[in-house]
Amino acid sequence: MFAQLFIGYVIYHNVPADGKELGNILVEQIQNATTEKTTSDDAFIHKFQRDNKCCGFDSFLEWQSTLGYIPGSCCNQPVKEPCYVLFAIKQPCKEILKKKIDNGLRILLIICIGIFTLTYNLRCIASTSIMKQTEADRHSLIIKDHFFDQEEKNKETFLNVVDFFSKKNYKTGHVEFIYAALKRMKEFGVDEDLEVYKKLIDVMPKGKMVTSNSLLNVTMYYPKHQFCIVELLMQMEEKRVMPDKEIQELLIRIFGRQATPTVRLLRMMYWLPKLKYASPWPPPEPRPKNAVEVAKLGVKRMCSMDLETEINLFNTVDDELSTEYTWIVNGQSPMQRKLLEYHPENLPIYVEGGFKMYLGRKDTLTYFILRADPPKNRRRKKFNDPDVIKNLKIPFFDPPTPEDLIPDFSVHEQRDGIIYAVGVTGTSSKNSLLSWIRFLEKNGNSKLKKISIVFKDTSPLGKVQCDNLIISGEEN
């Protein structure tokens, strides 16, 4: 460590002593020049004299004594040799030479000291600072995490933290702060809040990182900051938070019009609204508050094939034979009731379930169906293309055949069974399903009393969850 300092010291103090020797070398060279009569411009002394506007080592008279005349390089004016004394430069080269050597050596000394301090500091960092860190700190990459160690975790405290940071006007640390905030947002329950994302983007310094030309855009001006905001936008996209014009203006103020985060935002503004409304069954907005609402919306969506479907909510308090206290959501249309009336009494009806259904990103429900096997001798009506003129029939000349009188299959008569009702219960237990059927009997399905009903663990319609699954969401 001290080796560099030592070397620097030795060089600095010894070489000026050698400076005299250098002077002697110069005198020698002058003498050589005289003996060999090399007065050409290429010689070292002449170049040096011309560049630094000096003459001789001690005085210009040296040339007079050795050479007999003053060379052209000593001349003040562009005159060929020999130079007149009147025009000769009077300043000796001795001091200039010394100054030059000193300057060079000083730079060397500074470099030596620089290397010394750098290595010393690095060793200090390596030895002392890591010792102070705990085991957990050493592995964590996020530094600004401690801002979010709040006791109360809600939107207000989160915004207070962000405000506190942005009012301090720190020169660095914005990137680390935003990464930490993105990670801790879910704890505060603000990960789907547009306002909070706006506040976080607002933390970034304005104006400093704006790109002034297109070359800076291509080469990523302030890349860490840009990546950070891109990461934030990606999180917004994942959480289905729709950006707005205000964010665009903020990003233009921070990064400029053509920077990567701004362009990414433009892409989001183009695609997200298009894709949000692509689904014919969009997730309910706002999110349903309790399980009954989830069940109602779910049944409504499942039975949207038949627009006449009525959705009823029953409570097991009204059922005298019920042993538990829950709710039942039922979906049935008049067409299904009519079909049930025509159901032969010797064939059973199955209660199958529970099947899983997803309503939006967070809500699922388990539903049950009332199904019967399709009748074997039932024929499907022959399809007559109405566009083909050959098939046109005039009722006067062509009386309807028995085949024409067969009613077409309704939506509920599928190849894998006739569906009579769809139901969701609060507990998905066998007892609640029994009371569902009792409610159906009371509400216009009196035929059910005469038909045997079988509870099944399997179904041709899909995977069945046998255990008593409770619908996700809060019970009321």
- Choose between 107 and 454: whose C-beta lies nearer to other proteins: 454
- Interface characters, 329-368, with other proteins (x: CB under 8 A): --------------------------xxxxx-x--x--x-
DSSP 432: H
Q: Map the footprint of other proteins across residues 235-254, applying CB under 8 A.
A: 238
Which helix (H) or strand (E) segment holds residue 68: the answer is none
Positive or negative torsion for Cα 49, 52, 53, 59: negative
- Interface characters, 408-447, with other proteins (x: CB under 8 A): ---x--xxx--x--x-------------------------
Contact residue for other proteins among 26, 459, 471, 473 (CB under 8 A): 459
Q: Are 177 and 147 in contact, with CB atoms under 8 Å apart?
A: yes
- Choose between 162 and 418: whose C-beta lies nearer to other proteins: 418
CB of residue 49 vs other proteins: minimum separation in angstroms?
55
- Choose between 115 and 461: whose C-beta lies nearer to other proteins: 461
- Choose between 92 and 283: whose C-beta lies nearer to other proteins: 283
CB of residue 276 vs other proteins: minimum separation in angstroms?
11
- Coil, helix or strand at residue 75: strand
Should residue 303 be labelled a site residue for other proteins when binding is judged by CB under 8 A? yes
Cα gap 244→380, rounded to integer Å: 53
Cα gap 416→387, rounded to integer Å: 30
Should residue 372 be labelled a site residue for other proteins when binding is judged by CB under 8 A? no
Distances (CA, A) of 173 to 183, 208, 225, 269, 303: 16, 15, 10, 29, 54
Contact residue for other proteins among 162, 247, 250, 302 (CB under 8 A): 302
Query: Is the preceding peptide bond at 395 cis, omega within 30 degrees of 0?
Result: no
- Choose between 64 and 364: whose C-beta lies nearer to other proteins: 364
Q: Closest by alpha carbon to 11, among 109, 90, 96?
A: 109
CB of residue 449 vs other proteins: minimum separation in angstroms?
24
CA atoms within 13 A on the CB side of 304: 8
Should residue 42 be labelled a site residue for other proteins when binding is judged by CB under 8 A? no
Q: Are 414 and 371 in contact, with CB atoms under 8 Å apart?
A: no
Answer left, alpha or beta for residue 347, where phi above 0 means left and psi between -120 and 50 means alpha.
beta
Contact residue for other proteins among 463, 466, 467, 474 (CB under 8 A): 463
CB of residue 105 vs other proteins: minimum separation in angstroms?
50
Burial class of 73 by CB neighbour count within 10 A (0 to 12, 13 to 18, 19+): buried
Sequence-ordered list of residues with C-beta below 8 angstroms from that of 409, at least 6 positions apart, any chain:
380, 381
The residue with tokens 């290429």 is 42
Cα gap 332→420, rounded to integer Å: 7
Number of residues that bind other proteins (CB under 8 A): 43
Instruction: Return the range that interacts with other proteins (CB under 8 A); candidates 31-39, 95-103, 144-152, 299-307.
Output: 299-307
The pair of three-digit structure tokens given for residue 177, joined into one six-digit string = 């702060």
Cα gap 411→336, rounded to integer Å: 10
Should residue 454 be labelled a site residue for other proteins when binding is judged by CB under 8 A? no
- Choose between 415 and 450: whose C-beta lies nearer to other proteins: 415
Instruction: Return the range that interacts with other proteins (CB under 8 A); candidates 78-86, 320-328, 396-404, 460-468.
Output: 460-468
Contact residue for other proteins among 86, 131, 275, 405 (CB under 8 A): 275
The pair of three-digit structure tokens given for residue 379, joined into one six-digit string = 């024929």
- Choose between 207 and 280: whose C-beta lies nearer to other proteins: 280
- Choose between 243 and 298: whose C-beta lies nearer to other proteins: 298
Should residue 371 be labelled a site residue for other proteins when binding is judged by CB under 8 A? yes
Q: Closest by alpha carbon to 49, among 31, 72, 16?
A: 72
- Choose between 70 and 265: whose C-beta lies nearer to other proteins: 265
Should residue 214 be labelled a site residue for other proteins when binding is judged by CB under 8 A? yes
CB of residue 361 vs other proteins: minimum separation in angstroms?
6
Should residue 386 be labelled a site residue for other proteins when binding is judged by CB under 8 A? no
Should residue 267 be labelled a site residue for other proteins when binding is judged by CB under 8 A? yes
Q: Are 468 and 429 in contact, with CB atoms under 8 Å apart?
A: yes
Answer left, alpha or beta for residue 360, where phi above 0 means left and psi between -120 and 50 means alpha.
left
Binding site for other proteins (CB under 8 A): 214, 217-218, 238, 257-258, 263, 266-267, 271, 275, 278-281, 298, 301-305, 355-359, 361, 364, 367, 369, 371, 411, 414-416, 419, 422, 458-463
